[in-house]
Amino acid sequence: MRVFRNSHLQIASEKITSDISLPNQIPYRKNYLWKNWGETASCRPEISFYPEKVYELIEIVKFARNTKKRIRVAATGHSWSQLIPTDDILVYIHKLNHVEMDFSDREKPKVVIESGATVREVNDVLEHHGYALPLNVVLESVRFGGLIATGSHGSGWNNSTLSDLIHSIEIVTSSGQLQVFETGIDADEVMNAAKLNLGMFGITYRMKLYVQKSYRVRAIDRRAPLIETIENIKCLILAHENCDLFWWPFCDKIWIKSWDRTELKITSKPRKNLWDKLEAAISSRVFRELLRLINNFPRMTPWVCNFLFKFTPSVRDDVVDIVEAIHYRRSIEVAKLGCVEIAFKVDSDFENVKKAINIVIYTTNKYAAQRKYPFNVTMNVRFINSSQCLLSPGFGEGHTCFIEILSRADRKEWELFSSEVATEWLKLPNALPHWAKEIEHIPGIIEHIKSKIGKNIAEFNKIKIELQLDPDNIFMNDFLRRIFL
């Protein structure tokens, strides 16, 4: 029998009803408040479980089914949307974090990741063996279960989403069975639903992703005139394997971040060094305090944004490992921000990309003319290849632009500003919100999602029903029911 030092955790053995007892030996809390990182979602579920083994996931699911309770899963809570909240059962997956390499197929090596593993834990194993994922999110503190479930992405003209890298995924379905979905064994349409299922197939135990030998890139960061960059954006993006844009409000320059493969020797300092870690921790906290300052004195926003832009790592020319290029910022999660992100297919001349950027600039200036400054951090523009996952905003032929705005401002003013921007973005052909970002405050967003990917939703539901994965919909919360039922 395990002993737990945290007095708030209990061993699940007491009766919840006269007939059904809680699963034995699994740590749990009752009526424990959960909040996400961005403080945009919260819930107080009846029971929160803390499993450490796959058989415990199975017991929890059987318990939920027998008691007719709904169940959702929490990772680090960095998603801004309402995907997690539930009144019934919440499962924390933090201790399911084992990572190992699979070399059974030397031609196609893979990494096996339990859903609670962080990006940092995955990178540690990959780097030890000389491998890397070709794409990833910037943060290393977030967990893979959440990244895969929401179709999260990095960037790169030839890259897709993390979910598209999956070879196989193991999910505890509502029957209490551990079901394996595997490329080459299951039909493509089944895999395209399972890879990105928003937790509606069940609780993901672990996944196996394709990896490649680590490689070096020449990473160049530069500042360029804003208007000129927008006008020449097509040539700029197509000239690089990876190219991101960052604009701080009220700045007349924009940060261009690009990298391309190279055989040159590494010129930067080691990725994991104490000074770099200390510098990141200090600068992130200074950034957080400056954001607090302009929350109290909003009219300082233009000056602070220009000041902060000068201290971004936007001037650089180094040869680094791909993993260092991807995770170029550390400790940025210190400052809690709001975030809205929309994806749309890039047209042949990039005119819709220019329009999306100009919407942000125009709306920012319009609010400033009223002496309102709800947007105070950055706009980020990224590009990826198409996704095969049915529920991905990047699904289907053609490259996808992901554009997001981040801010730490008065909540009401931020919601007004970001919903106005998002409403204009969503007028672009086939535009859809990123599942993990702020969604619900955007007017008509549920109807918009259903109208744009209704066919894919119907196909997803059909597969889920035919496979009898969750006939009673115990893995859905109110937010998902509004879209999928």
Q: What is the CATH number of the domain that holds 57?
A: 3.30.43.10
Among residues 172, 197, 213, which one ends one of the domains? 213
Q: Are residues 300 and 318 in the same domain?
A: yes
Contacts of residue 19, Cβ cutoff 8 Å, sequence gap at least 6 = none
Q: Tell me which amino acid residue 420 is.
A: E
Could you tell me whether strands 166-172 and 216-225 are parallel, antiparallel, or unpaired per DSSP bridges? unpaired
Q: Are residues 342 and 330 in the same domain?
A: yes
Q: Are residues 168 and 45 in the same domain?
A: no
CB 407 within 8 A of CB 337: yes
Q: Are residues 38 and 154 in the same domain?
A: no
Q: Are residues 270 and 409 in the same domain?
A: yes
Q: How far apart are CA 445 and CA 449, in angstroms?
A: 6
Domain at 421, CATH number: 3.40.462.10
Q: Are residues 187 and 254 in the same domain?
A: no
- 5 domain residue, yes or no: no
Which residue, 68, 17, 80, 22, is CA-closest to 49? 22
Determine how many CB atoms are found less than 10 A away from the CB of residue 293. Answer: 13
Domain at 195, CATH number: 3.30.465.10
Q: Are residues 132 and 70 in the same domain?
A: no
- 290 domain residue, yes or no: yes
pLDDT per residue of the chain (485 residues) written in tens, 0 to 9: 333 334 456 655 444 443 468 888 899 999 999 999 989 999 999 999 999 999 999 999 999 999 999 999 998 888 999 999 999 999 999 999 999 999 999 999 999 999 999 999 999 999 999 999 999 999 999 999 999 999 999 999 999 999 999 999 999 999 999 999 999 999 999 999 999 999 999 999 999 999 999 999 999 999 999 999 999 999 999 999 999 999 999 999 999 999 999 999 999 877 777 877 788 788 888 888 888 899 889 999 999 999 999 989 999 999 999 999 999 987 778 888 999 999 999 999 999 999 999 999 999 999 999 999 999 999 999 999 999 999 999 999 999 999 999 999 999 999 999 999 999 999 999 999 999 999 999 999 999 999 999 999 999 999 999 999 999 999 999 999 999 99
- 481 domain residue, yes or no: no
Angle of helix 274-296 versus helix 301-310 axis, rounded to 10: 170
Q: Are residues 205 and 279 in the same domain?
A: no
DSSP 8-state secondary structure symbol assigned to residue 279? H
Q: Are residues 140 and 176 in the same domain?
A: yes
pLDDT of residue 9: 64
- 395 domain residue, yes or no: yes
Q: How far is CA 5 from the centre of its chain?
A: 32
Residue 76, phi-psi category: left (phi > 0), alpha (psi -120 to 50), beta (remainder): alpha
pLDDT of residue 130: 97
Q: How far apart are CA 13 and CA 5, in angstroms?
A: 17
- 480 domain residue, yes or no: no
Q: Are residues 224 and 186 in the same domain?
A: no
Q: Report pLDDT digits (tens) over 391-402.
A: 999 999 999 999
Q: Are residues 87 and 115 in the same domain?
A: no
- 458 domain residue, yes or no: no
Radius of gyration, alpha carbons of the chain: 22
Among residues 213, 235, 263, which one ends one of the domains? 213
Q: Provide the total of helices (H) and of strands (E) in the chain, helices listed first.
A: 13, 22
The CA-to-CA distance between both ends of the chain, in Å, stands at 42
Q: How far apart are CA 56 and CA 25, in angstroms?
A: 9
- 349 domain residue, yes or no: yes
Q: Are residues 135 and 220 in the same domain?
A: no
Number of structural domains found in the chain: 3
Range of the domain at 188: 99-213
Among residues 65, 92, 119, which one ends one of the domains? 92
Contacts of residue 418, Cβ cutoff 8 Å, sequence gap at least 6 = 338, 340, 374, 375, 405, 407, 438, 441, 442
- 152 domain residue, yes or no: yes
